[in-house]
Amino acid sequence: MPTLMREPAAGRFGDFGGRFVPESLVPACDALAAAFQDAWADPAFRAELDDLLAVYAGRPTPLTPARTLSAALGVELLLKREDLAHTGSHKINNVLGQGLLARRMCKRRIIAETGAGQHGVAAATAAALLGLEATIFMGERDIERQRLNVLRMTTLGATVVPVTTGSRTLKDATNEAMRAWVADVDGAHFLLGSVGGPHPYPWMVRELQRVIGEEARAQSPYVPDVVVACVGGGSNAAGTFAGFADTAARLVGVEAAGGAAMSSGRPGVVHGARSMVLQDAEGQVAEAESIAAGLDYPGIGPEHAFLGAAGRAEYHAVKDDEVIAAVRRLARDEGIICALESAHAVAWVLREAGGPLLPAGSRIVLTLSGRGDKDMATLEATA
Q: What is the pLDDT of residue 383?
A: 84
Q: What is the pLDDT of residues 253-268, one digit of tens each?
A: 999 999 999 999 999 9
What predicted TM-score, i.e. pTM, was given to this entire model?
0.96
Q: What is the CATH number of domain 60-89+210-382?
A: 3.40.50.1100
Q: Where are the domains of the chain?
A: 11-52+91-190, 60-89+210-382
Q: What is the CA radius of gyration of the chain?
A: 19
Active site members: 91, 113, 369
Per-residue pLDDT band for 6 (boundaries 50, 70, 90) equals low
- Complete edge-to-edge strand list for the sheet that includes strand 159-163: 159-163, 133-139, 109-114, 188-190
> In the chain, what's the furthest Cα-to-Cα distance?
56
Q: What is the pLDDT of residue 10?
A: 81
Position 1 pLDDT exceeds 90: no
Domain 11-52+91-190 falls under CATH 3.40.50.1100:
yes
Please indicate whether the domains covering 11-52+91-190 and 60-89+210-382 agree at the CATH topology level: yes
Q: What is the pLDDT of residue 2?
A: 41
Task: Provide the CA 231 distance to its chain's centre, in angstroms.
Answer: 7
Q: What percentage of the chain exceeds 70 in pLDDT?
A: 98
